[in-house]
Structure 1
Amino acid sequence: MSQSVHGDSKVQILDADAEAINMESTATTPDDLQDGTSKHRGLSFKNSGLLSKETITRILKLNRGKIKPVTTESRSVSLGSIDAVADLRKRKGNERRLIEKDGSLRILHYGLAEKKSRFLDDIFTTCVDLKWRYIFLGFSSSFLISWLIFAGIWHFMFWAHGDLEEMHLPEAQEGSNWTPCVYNIYDFSSTFLYSVETQHTIGYGLRGSSHKCADTIILQCIQSIVGVLIQACIAGIVFAKLARPKKRAKTISFSSNAVISQVNGKLRLMFRIANIRNSQILEAHFRAILLNNITTKEGVTLRNFPTEMSLSTQLSEEEQEPTDFGHMFLPLLVSHCIDETSPLYELTPAELITSKFEILVTLEGVVEPSGNTTQVRTSYIPQEILWGHSFTNCVSYANKEGVYLIDHSKIDTTITDCTPRLSAKQIDEENRRAQ
Structure 2
Amino acid sequence: MMWRRTIDPGLGEKYNSRTKRLINKDGSFNIVKLGRELRLYDAYQYLKNISVGRLSFLLLCFYLFINSLFALLYLWCGVENLHGIEPGLPPFLNAFFFSVQTFTTVGYGVLAPHGMATNLVVTLESFMGWVGFAIITGVVFSRFAKPHVRILYSNNAIIAPHEGGKSLQFRLANKRNSVLLEMEARVMLMVQDTNFSRHYYNLKLEQSSLYFFPLSWTIMHHIDEESPLYNVTPKELEEKRAEVLVLIKGYDEAYGQTVHSRFSYRFNEILWDVRFKEVYNSDTRGEIVLDLLKLHETEPVSEPAL
Question: Distance between the aligned counterparts of 1:390 and 1:189, measured in 2?
Answer: 64
Question: Distance between the aligned counterparts of 1:274 and 1:409, measured in 2?
Answer: 11
Given that 1:119 and 1:126 are in contact with CA atoms closer than 8 Å, whether structure 2 keeps it comes out as no
Corresponding residue for residue 233 of structure 1 = 135
Corresponding residue for residue 208 of structure 1 = 112
CA deviations on 1:320-341 (whole Å, 9 max, x unpaired) are: xxx3345222222212244565
- Report how far residue 254 of structure 1 moved: 2.0
Given that 1:151 and 1:192 are in contact with CA atoms closer than 8 Å, whether structure 2 keeps it comes out as yes
Question: Distance between the aligned counterparts of 2:185 and 2:219, measured in 1?
Answer: 8
2:102 pairs with 1:220 = no
Corresponding residue for residue 139 of structure 1 = 59
Given that 1:254 and 1:378 are in contact with CA atoms closer than 8 Å, whether structure 2 keeps it comes out as no
Corresponding residue for residue 285 of structure 1 = 184
AA in 2 matched with 1:208: A
Q: What is the DSSP-based 3-state SS (H/G/I as helix, E as strand, rest coil) of the residue aligned with 2:60?
A: helix
**Which residue of 185, 206, 227 corresponds with 1:342?**
227
- Report how far residue 262 of structure 1 moved: 3.7
Given that 2:157 and 2:169 are in contact with CA atoms closer than 8 Å, whether structure 1 keeps it comes out as no
Given that 2:23 and 2:30 are in contact with CA atoms closer than 8 Å, whether structure 1 keeps it comes out as no
Given that 1:288 and 1:362 are in contact with CA atoms closer than 8 Å, whether structure 2 keeps it comes out as yes
Question: Distance between the aligned counterparts of 1:105 and 1:209, measured in 2?
Answer: 50
AA in 1 matched with 2:267: I
TM-score normalised by L of structure 1: 0.51
Given that 1:292 and 1:306 are in contact with CA atoms closer than 8 Å, whether structure 2 keeps it comes out as yes
2:206 pairs with 1:303 = no
Question: Distance between the aligned counterparts of 1:196 and 1:218, measured in 2?
Answer: 16
Q: Give the direction of change, closer, same or farther, for the CA distance of 1:266–1:291 in structure 2 (3 Å limit).
A: same
- Report how far residue 227 of structure 1 moved: 0.6
Given that 2:172 and 2:217 are in contact with CA atoms closer than 8 Å, whether structure 1 keeps it comes out as yes
2:290 pairs with 1:406 = yes
**Which residue of 199, 212, 225 corresponds with 2:103?**
199
Question: Distance between the aligned counterparts of 2:113 and 2:22, measured in 1?
Answer: 59
Q: Give the direction of change, closer, same or farther, for the CA distance of 1:370–1:218 in structure 2 (3 Å limit).
A: farther
Given that 2:234 and 2:267 are in contact with CA atoms closer than 8 Å, whether structure 1 keeps it comes out as no
- Report how far residue 208 of structure 1 moved: 3.1
Question: Distance between the aligned counterparts of 2:63 and 2:24, measured in 1?
Answer: 40
CA deviations on 1:70-122 (whole Å, 9 max, x unpaired) are: xxxxxxxxxxxxxxxxxxxxxxxxxx96168954669474xx6557x659872
Corresponding residue for residue 44 of structure 2 = 124
Given that 1:101 and 1:379 are in contact with CA atoms closer than 8 Å, whether structure 2 keeps it comes out as no
Q: What is the DSSP-based 3-state SS (H/G/I as helix, E as strand, rest coil) of the residue aligned with 1:204?
A: coil
Question: Distance between the aligned counterparts of 1:325 and 1:276, measured in 2?
Answer: 17
Given that 1:275 and 1:330 are in contact with CA atoms closer than 8 Å, whether structure 2 keeps it comes out as yes
Q: What is the DSSP-based 3-state SS (H/G/I as helix, E as strand, rest coil) of the residue aligned with 2:159?
A: strand
Corresponding residue for residue 154 of structure 2 = 254
Question: Distance between the aligned counterparts of 1:332 and 1:105, measured in 2?
Answer: 22
- Report how far residue 281 of structure 1 moved: 3.1
CA deviations on 1:330-374 (whole Å, 9 max, x unpaired) are: 222212244565323xx216x344333221223334555456735
| The structure with more radius of gyration | 1
Q: What is the DSSP-based 3-state SS (H/G/I as helix, E as strand, rest coil) of the residue aligned with 1:196?
A: helix
Paired-residue identity, %: 21
**Which residue of 162, 169, 172 corresponds with 1:270?**
169
- Report how far residue 223 of structure 1 moved: 1.7
AA in 1 matched with 2:154: F
Given that 1:392 and 1:415 are in contact with CA atoms closer than 8 Å, whether structure 2 keeps it comes out as no
1:3-402 alignment to 2 at 5 Å?
Answer: 98=21, 102-103=25-26, 107=30, 109=32, 114=35, 118=38, 122-128=42-48, 130=50, 134-157=54-77, 164=80, 183-184=83-84, 189-209=93-113, 218-238=120-140, 248-249=150-151, 252-254=152-154, 256-263=156-163, 268-293=167-192, 301=195, 303-313=197-207, 323-338=208-223, 342-344=227-229, 347-348=230-231, 351-356=233-238, 357-369=242-254, 373-381=259-267, 384-386=270-272, 391=276, 393-398=278-283, 400-402=284-286
Q: What is the DSSP-based 3-state SS (H/G/I as helix, E as strand, rest coil) of the residue aligned with 1:401?
A: coil
